[in-house]
Structure 1
Amino acid sequence: MRHYKIALLSFLCLGTTIALGQAVKEDFKPSTKNQPGKEYPQVNSQGYARFKIEAPAADSVRVSLGLGGRGGTKLEKGEDGFWTGTTEGPMDEGFHYYHINVDGGTFNDPGAKNYYGSVRWESGIEIPAHDQDFYALKDVPHGKVEQILFPSPSSNTSRRAFVYTPPGYAQNQNKNYPVLYLQHGWGEDETAWSNQGHANLIMDNLIAEGTIEPFIIVMTYGMTNEIKFGGLRNFDITPFQTVMVDELIPYVDKNFRTVAEASHRAMAGLSMGGMETKMITLNKPDVFSYYGLLSGGTYAPEDVDKVDVKLIFLSCGSKERPEAIKAATEKLKEAGFPVASYISEGTAHEFQTWRRSLKEMAPKLFTK
């Protein structure tokens, strides 16, 4: 098998490109998710992405990032051995995973940082969003994200979680905090909400604005990668439920200043993390009082006991199935449940949907 050196080099494109009948503006800049000092990949103000890859002996180079159904972005080889290309159209705003395909082999883009998704470390790219200010790094007091290792007798190991404690946590020794247990999606891990989702920055900014009361967020691995994509019907929640309810929550309550009551505890998750959230909250209604499904399904009125729940939050992108969220919300409201919903305009099953969902959900938690 031939081995190809894939390197990302500077690329200056002059003039105007025409794609899908639209004039592509030549105001491309390096993605904010690039490795330090790397010029590519680049994005422009319209949401197009541009790549340049060195693979002089290759016969085909393609980028997995692209418009749906078109198989990604095919790069063209130049006489200098560099492959270049621009997406056929603008991408949705926000974060996207992608990889490079060289003659059928899968590689990460050495110009981009890597993020755990699709059960592997993938390259990441950020398409600037019109509302990106809410997860921007600002000059405000910042909380702390720390790694913890907690004992898990049920899985015969120590497991990892990341805990966000809000600004002032270390100084306010007499204050206890509510806790949100926030789950990632299939193929991701406990790093996703901090790295891809910027959950900590979203919280910092909301707290600085006075929009929410501070609370702790706990993010742990959801035992999802043992299930192959397409096999979710065989998923058994019991092992993770044991880890969450019997091992992680007691550890957090013992080692952090929490309000160790169901009335001050929430669980939410994106995609498969939402499925896990639904299963556990219905199985253990005495553990959580706030439920959040972010592109993770819905609840029916007959599923939930009104006595146990203080809020049900449902969300998805406008390019997913918003009608299902709207219908479920109406049925829950008619049945007298405390419910709120949110549809992220112009996004699909992707992190911009979930970033926005967290921003919308957080002010509604722990208010009763």
Structure 2
Amino acid sequence: MKRFLSAVILISVLHYHTSWSQEAQGVTQDFKASSVNQPGKEFPQVNSQGRVRASIAAPNANKVQLDLGGVKYDMIKNAAGVWTGESAPQDEGFHYYQLNIDGASVPDPGTLYFYGAGRSGSGIEIPASDQDFYALKDVPHGLVSENIYFSKLTNSFRRCFVYTPAGYNENTKNRYPVLYLQHGSFEDETGWSVQGKANLILDNLIASNQAVPMIVVMDNGYAYKKEEGNTANMPAQPVSVFEEVVMTEVIPMIDSKFRTISDRGHRAIAGLSMGANQTMRIAMNNLDKFAYYGGFSGTSNYPSADEIDPAVFLGGKFNDAKAVNKQLKVLWLGLGTKEPNPFPGSIGAFRKMLDKQGIRYVFYESQDTAHEWLTWRRSLYQYAGLLFK
């Protein structure tokens, strides 16, 4: 009886794979396990076309879908209760995704988990043609350390991750410039060292003498003032104190705990999306503390308009072009060529204002990427190479 059942299952599986291949005409069958799978997991897989194939055992489910890039792809169940399905070709780089099982969105148990989109969930790497710049190589590697501190402004314990370059612990007389690097909305302080591969980007740049050895500080951009009294009287919109946390708590802590060069000429700041908005405000409100600014897929929030009034925008911080050009050694902007609205429009309007004012800046376009980590990895690679020189 067992042999009979095994034969039936085998025939069903073979029939499933035959049906699958017939339905998958035009799909290149060279799928390989994703580089961010959990150890020993065969799925999810990626092929040379950038398609993602997921698989999960859910024998009692009625409907399972692969939810990737805002599209849900139906998966097919075989006789063994294993659902398999694949996506359309995806852009190169890192993407968040999930599985939808009978209406419930859940992480794929085959992948490592990443914090993004406001949750810990699955991620997939579509191999990029230029992935060499963030690849793990046989070069001297720095250290990413977790630093816990108590914030009086938020009345809570917080943490930041700090990258120190190779040789930091051995060359104890050397001091280093610092880059403060921020994540985007619905992400946290883990984003840049995990999804962003910031440490590997810096390792490779420094090893090839394309960047100056530097310390990189990655803090959590969500910091709210702790209101005293009855929680029922808490404001509907909590008050962000992130700028104050950076300026009065994080920077003094980093300068006291690490061997930094603590003048404005050796301090840079950058961020992506929400982080670009936050860091622009920090930099422009504290030009006595920063000489470098980088905005990846963002600048500072302002009403959508074809023209920006420099006398009004950000309190007039860009109204005196001569002063801005003197104070900022690098004003850097990056954007993916496939970014959705409002990013091309808002950054375009900001650039028009800079051009009209005669303010110097560097603009970089990441080819064929949208509002995603490959855009920001490339941006960091380009930006970091210009710092502290």
Give the TM-score range, shorter chain: 0.7 to 0.9
Residue equivalent to 1:38: 41
Cα deviations by residue, 1:155-198 (Å, 9 ceiling, x for unpaired): 12331010001111112222211111000111111110000010
Match runs of 1:223-242 below 5 Å: 223=222, 236-237=239-240, 239-242=241-244
Q: 1:33 to 1:285 in 2, by over 3 A?
A: same
Aligned residue among 260, 263, 270 for 2:265: 263
Per-residue displacement from partner, 1:132-175 (whole Å, max 9, x unpaired)?
00000000000110111123111123310100011111122222
Q: Structure 1: which amino acid aligns with 2:133?
A: F
Is the alpha carbon distance of 1:308 and 1:96 closer, same or farther for their aligned partners in structure 2, counting shifts above 3 Å?
same
Distance 1:200 1:186 in 2: 21
Q: Quick check: 1:65 aligned with 2:68? A: yes
Q: Deviations over 1:5-43 (max 9, x none)?
A: xxxxx9996785666xx8211110000010000000000
Name the residue aligned to 1:308.
327
Q: Which runs of 4+ in 1 moved over 6 A?
A: none
Counterparts of 2:365 and 2:72, CA distance in 1: 27
CA contact (8 A) 2:154 2:224 kept: no
1:340 aligns with 2:362: yes
The SS at the match of 2:327 is coil
* Cα distance in 1 between the residues matched to 2:260 and 2:48: 43
Gaps of at least 5 residues in structure 1 are 1-9, 227-233
Question: Cα 1:281–1:129, aligned 2, differ >3 Å: closer, same or farther?
Answer: same
Q: Does the C-alpha gap of structure 1 residues 102 and 224 become closer, same or farther in structure 2, counting only changes over 3 Å?
A: farther
What secondary structure does 2:68 align onto?
Answer: coil
Report the counterpart of residue 78 of structure 1 in structure 2: 78
The reply to whether residue 319 of structure 1 matches residue 341 of structure 2 is no
Cα distance in 1 for partners of 2:345, 2:182 equals 24
CA distance in 2, matches of 1:51, 1:351: 21
Residues 295, 330 of structure 1: alpha-carbon distance in 2 compared, 3 angstrom cutoff: same
Counterpart of 2:181, as a letter, is: L
The verdict on how the C-alpha distance between 1:324 and 1:186 changes in structure 2, with shifts beyond 3 A counting, is closer
- Aligned pairs for 1:168-179 (under 5 A) are 168-179=167-178
- For 1:142, the aligned partner's letter is H
Identity %: 49
TM-score, with structure 2 as normaliser: 0.82
Q: 2:3 — aligned with what?
A: none
1:183-332 equivalence runs, <5 A:
183-223=182-222, 236-237=239-240, 239-297=241-299, 303-304=317-318, 305-306=323-324, 307-320=326-339, 321-322=343-344, 325=347, 328-329=350-351, 331-332=353-354
Q: Is the 8 A contact 1:186 1:224 kept in 2?
A: no
2:140–2:203 Cα contact (<8 Å) kept: yes
Looking at structure 1, the residues matched to 253 and 375 of structure 2 have their Cα atoms a distance apart, in angstroms, of 31
Q: Distance in 2 between matches of 1:235 and 1:262?
A: 31
Counterpart Cα distance in 1 of 2:119 and 2:86: 25
Secondary structure of the structure 2 residue equivalent to 1:364: coil
Q: Which residue of 2 aligns with 1:159?
A: 158
Structure 1 residue 336 displacement after superposition: 3.7
The question of whether the paired residues in 1 share the 8 Å contact of 2:224 and 2:242 is answered with no
Structure 2 residue ranges without an equivalent (≥5): 1-12, 226-236, 302-307, 311-315
Rounded to whole Å, the distance in 2 between the matches of 1:235 and 1:276 is 16
191 and 280 in structure 1: CA distance in 2 versus 1, 3 angstrom threshold: same
Question: Aligned equivalents of 2:17 and 2:48: distance in 1?
Answer: 15
Count of aligned pairs = 345
- CA-based RMSD of the aligned residues comes to 2.5
In structure 2, the CA distance between the partners of 1:337 and 1:18, relative to structure 1 (3 Å rule), is farther
Q: 2:123 is matched by which residue type in structure 1?
A: G
| Cα distance, 1:129–1:59 mapped onto 2, change above 3 Å | same
Instruction: Work out which of the two has the higher radius of gyration on C-alpha atoms and give 1 or 2.
Output: 2
* Contact kept in structure 1, 2:177 and 2:266, CA below 8 Å: yes
- Using structure 1 for the length normalisation, give the TM-score: 0.87
Higher helix share: 2
The match for 2:371 is 349
Whether the 8 Å contact between 1:18 and 1:24 is mirrored in structure 2 is no
280-289 or 217-226, which moves further after superposition? 217-226
